Amino acid sequence: MTKVIGLTGGIGSGKTTVANYFKEMGVPVYIADDGARAVMQSDTVIKEIKETFGEALFENNILNRAKLADIVFNNADKLAQLNAIVHPAVKKDFELWLLNHRDKEYVIYEAAILFESGRYKDCDSIITVTAPEEIRIERVLKRDNTTREQVLSRMQMQWKDEDRISKSNFVINNVNLKIAREEVVKILKILNIKQNQS
Protein backbone atom coordinates (compact mmCIF):
# COMPACT_ATOMS: atom_id res chain seq x y z
CA MET A 1 0.00 0.00 0.00
CA THR A 2 1.44 3.37 -1.04
CA LYS A 3 2.07 5.67 1.93
CA VAL A 4 0.98 9.31 1.61
CA ILE A 5 3.40 11.83 3.12
CA GLY A 6 1.80 15.22 3.69
CA LEU A 7 4.00 18.25 3.04
CA THR A 8 2.81 21.62 4.29
CA GLY A 9 3.90 25.03 5.50
CA GLY A 10 2.64 28.59 5.54
CA ILE A 11 2.77 30.97 2.60
CA GLY A 12 6.40 31.78 1.70
CA SER A 13 7.89 28.92 3.74
CA GLY A 14 9.38 27.38 0.60
CA LYS A 15 7.44 24.13 0.59
CA THR A 16 7.44 24.02 -3.24
CA THR A 17 11.26 24.12 -3.17
CA VAL A 18 11.25 21.22 -0.70
CA ALA A 19 8.68 19.37 -2.87
CA ASN A 20 11.04 19.77 -5.83
CA TYR A 21 13.89 18.21 -3.83
CA PHE A 22 11.71 15.15 -3.21
CA LYS A 23 10.83 15.06 -6.91
CA GLU A 24 14.53 15.19 -7.88
CA MET A 25 15.10 12.21 -5.58
CA GLY A 26 12.47 10.16 -7.42
CA VAL A 27 9.47 10.60 -5.14
CA PRO A 28 6.20 11.42 -6.98
CA VAL A 29 4.76 14.75 -5.78
CA TYR A 30 1.15 15.92 -6.02
CA ILE A 31 0.81 19.72 -5.66
CA ALA A 32 -2.69 20.45 -4.33
CA ASP A 33 -2.66 24.03 -5.74
CA ASP A 34 -2.02 22.66 -9.24
CA GLY A 35 -4.77 20.10 -8.68
CA ALA A 36 -7.12 22.91 -7.62
CA ARG A 37 -6.25 24.92 -10.75
CA ALA A 38 -7.02 21.90 -12.90
CA VAL A 39 -10.34 21.04 -11.25
CA MET A 40 -11.41 24.71 -11.43
CA GLN A 41 -11.50 24.27 -15.22
CA SER A 42 -14.06 21.47 -14.94
CA ASP A 43 -17.67 22.21 -15.89
CA THR A 44 -19.04 20.99 -12.55
CA VAL A 45 -16.75 23.22 -10.46
CA ILE A 46 -17.24 26.24 -12.77
CA LYS A 47 -21.02 25.83 -12.41
CA GLU A 48 -20.76 25.69 -8.59
CA ILE A 49 -18.46 28.74 -8.46
CA LYS A 50 -20.86 30.71 -10.69
CA GLU A 51 -23.81 29.75 -8.49
CA THR A 52 -21.95 30.73 -5.30
CA PHE A 53 -19.92 33.77 -6.36
CA GLY A 54 -21.71 35.03 -9.48
CA GLU A 55 -21.01 35.32 -13.22
CA ALA A 56 -18.99 38.56 -12.79
CA LEU A 57 -15.89 36.52 -11.91
CA PHE A 58 -15.84 34.99 -15.39
CA GLU A 59 -14.68 36.49 -18.68
CA ASN A 60 -15.48 34.31 -21.73
CA ASN A 61 -16.21 31.48 -19.29
CA ILE A 62 -12.68 31.79 -17.86
CA LEU A 63 -12.41 32.35 -14.12
CA ASN A 64 -10.57 35.48 -13.01
CA ARG A 65 -8.57 33.88 -10.19
CA ALA A 66 -7.19 37.23 -8.93
CA LYS A 67 -10.73 38.59 -8.42
CA LEU A 68 -11.75 35.40 -6.64
CA ALA A 69 -8.63 35.54 -4.41
CA ASP A 70 -9.48 39.15 -3.45
CA ILE A 71 -12.93 38.00 -2.32
CA VAL A 72 -11.97 34.88 -0.39
CA PHE A 73 -8.76 36.02 1.29
CA ASN A 74 -10.58 38.91 2.94
CA ASN A 75 -13.56 36.89 4.08
CA ALA A 76 -13.31 33.63 6.04
CA ASP A 77 -16.92 32.63 5.21
CA LYS A 78 -16.35 33.08 1.46
CA LEU A 79 -13.09 31.11 1.72
CA ALA A 80 -14.97 28.29 3.46
CA GLN A 81 -17.57 28.33 0.64
CA LEU A 82 -14.87 28.08 -2.02
CA ASN A 83 -13.07 25.30 -0.12
CA ALA A 84 -16.34 23.34 0.13
CA ILE A 85 -16.49 23.39 -3.69
CA VAL A 86 -12.83 22.82 -4.52
CA HIS A 87 -11.58 20.42 -1.81
CA PRO A 88 -13.82 17.44 -2.69
CA ALA A 89 -12.85 17.84 -6.37
CA VAL A 90 -9.13 17.97 -5.51
CA LYS A 91 -9.52 14.90 -3.27
CA LYS A 92 -11.00 12.97 -6.21
CA ASP A 93 -8.25 14.23 -8.53
CA PHE A 94 -5.57 13.12 -6.04
CA GLU A 95 -7.15 9.67 -5.67
CA LEU A 96 -6.98 9.19 -9.45
CA TRP A 97 -3.37 10.42 -9.48
CA LEU A 98 -2.54 8.02 -6.64
CA LEU A 99 -3.84 5.06 -8.66
CA ASN A 100 -1.17 5.85 -11.28
CA HIS A 101 1.53 5.73 -8.58
CA ARG A 102 0.40 2.69 -6.61
CA ASP A 103 3.67 0.91 -7.46
CA LYS A 104 5.55 3.48 -5.33
CA GLU A 105 6.33 2.97 -1.65
CA TYR A 106 5.29 6.54 -0.87
CA VAL A 107 4.24 9.78 -2.52
CA ILE A 108 4.22 13.41 -1.36
CA TYR A 109 0.94 15.35 -1.08
CA GLU A 110 1.88 19.05 -0.92
CA ALA A 111 -0.77 21.46 0.35
CA ALA A 112 -0.58 24.85 2.08
CA ILE A 113 -3.78 24.15 4.01
CA LEU A 114 -3.22 20.46 4.79
CA PHE A 115 -4.46 20.93 8.37
CA GLU A 116 -7.13 23.54 7.71
CA SER A 117 -8.75 21.32 5.07
CA GLY A 118 -8.65 18.20 7.27
CA ARG A 119 -6.61 16.34 4.63
CA TYR A 120 -3.83 15.66 7.15
CA LYS A 121 -6.03 12.83 8.47
CA ASP A 122 -5.42 10.94 5.20
CA CYS A 123 -1.60 11.12 5.54
CA ASP A 124 0.69 8.48 7.00
CA SER A 125 3.33 11.06 8.01
CA ILE A 126 3.50 14.86 7.86
CA ILE A 127 6.37 17.22 7.09
CA THR A 128 6.04 20.91 7.97
CA VAL A 129 8.31 23.47 6.29
CA THR A 130 9.02 26.59 8.34
CA ALA A 131 10.92 29.87 7.97
CA PRO A 132 10.97 33.11 9.99
CA GLU A 133 8.01 35.39 9.23
CA GLU A 134 10.09 38.24 7.74
CA ILE A 135 11.85 35.86 5.32
CA ARG A 136 8.46 34.42 4.30
CA ILE A 137 7.03 37.89 3.65
CA GLU A 138 10.09 38.89 1.56
CA ARG A 139 9.83 35.70 -0.51
CA VAL A 140 6.14 36.27 -1.31
CA LEU A 141 6.69 39.95 -2.16
CA LYS A 142 9.45 38.93 -4.61
CA ARG A 143 7.36 36.11 -6.09
CA ASP A 144 3.87 37.59 -6.33
CA ASN A 145 2.52 40.92 -7.44
CA THR A 146 1.15 41.72 -3.99
CA THR A 147 1.48 43.98 -0.94
CA ARG A 148 2.80 43.33 2.56
CA GLU A 149 -0.74 43.79 3.94
CA GLN A 150 -2.11 41.12 1.58
CA VAL A 151 0.63 38.68 2.58
CA LEU A 152 -0.06 39.27 6.29
CA SER A 153 -3.79 38.85 5.67
CA ARG A 154 -3.16 35.44 4.03
CA MET A 155 -0.88 34.41 6.87
CA GLN A 156 -3.62 35.20 9.38
CA MET A 157 -6.00 32.89 7.49
CA GLN A 158 -3.55 29.98 7.86
CA TRP A 159 -2.52 27.94 10.89
CA LYS A 160 0.46 29.15 12.94
CA ASP A 161 3.73 27.23 12.62
CA GLU A 162 3.63 25.97 16.21
CA ASP A 163 0.18 24.43 15.59
CA ARG A 164 1.41 22.68 12.43
CA ILE A 165 4.60 21.50 14.12
CA SER A 166 2.68 19.97 17.03
CA LYS A 167 0.90 17.65 14.55
CA SER A 168 3.91 16.87 12.32
CA ASN A 169 6.38 13.99 12.23
CA PHE A 170 9.16 16.03 10.60
CA VAL A 171 10.07 19.73 10.45
CA ILE A 172 12.31 21.39 7.87
CA ASN A 173 13.52 24.87 8.72
CA ASN A 174 13.92 26.30 5.22
CA VAL A 175 16.29 29.26 5.54
CA ASN A 176 19.38 27.76 3.94
CA LEU A 177 18.63 25.75 0.78
CA LYS A 178 21.63 23.42 1.21
CA ILE A 179 20.56 22.50 4.76
CA ALA A 180 16.91 22.10 3.68
CA ARG A 181 18.04 19.67 0.98
CA GLU A 182 20.09 17.69 3.52
CA GLU A 183 16.97 17.47 5.73
CA VAL A 184 15.05 15.96 2.79
CA VAL A 185 17.77 13.30 2.38
CA LYS A 186 17.55 12.51 6.13
CA ILE A 187 13.75 12.20 6.01
CA LEU A 188 13.93 9.87 3.00
CA LYS A 189 16.38 7.64 4.88
CA ILE A 190 14.02 7.46 7.89
CA LEU A 191 11.02 6.74 5.63
CA ASN A 192 12.97 3.97 3.85
CA ILE A 193 13.95 2.38 7.16
CA LYS A 194 10.33 2.49 8.39
CA GLN A 195 9.09 1.05 5.09
CA ASN A 196 11.56 -1.82 5.29
CA GLN A 197 10.55 -2.59 8.87
CA SER A 198 6.80 -2.74 8.11
Average pLDDT over residues 72-86: 89
Q: Which domain holds residue 19?
A: 1-28+105-193
Co-location of 89 and 132 in the same domain: no
Q: Which of 71, 100, 129 is the last residue of a domain?
A: 100
Co-location of 188 and 169 in the same domain: yes
Q: What is the mean pLDDT of the chain?
A: 92
CA 126 to chain centre: 12
Binding residues for ATP: 12-17
pLDDT, tens only, 48-65: 999 999 999 998 888 898
Co-location of 187 and 118 in the same domain: yes
Binding residues: 12-17
CATH number of residue 109's parent domain: 3.40.50.300
Write the DSSP assignment of 91-114 as a string of letters: HHHHHHHHHTTTTSSEEEEE-TTT
Is residue 143 classed as helix, strand or coil in its secondary structure? helix
Give how many domains the chain has, as a whole number: 2
Co-location of 46 and 10 in the same domain: no
**Would residue 49 count as lying in a domain?**
yes
Which residues face 62 on adjacent strands? 59
- Report pLDDT for 196: 67
Co-location of 110 and 185 in the same domain: yes
Co-location of 11 and 57 in the same domain: no
Residue 105: pLDDT band with limits 50, 70, 90? very high
Q: Which of 52, 72, 100 is the last residue of a domain?
A: 100
Co-location of 47 and 86 in the same domain: yes
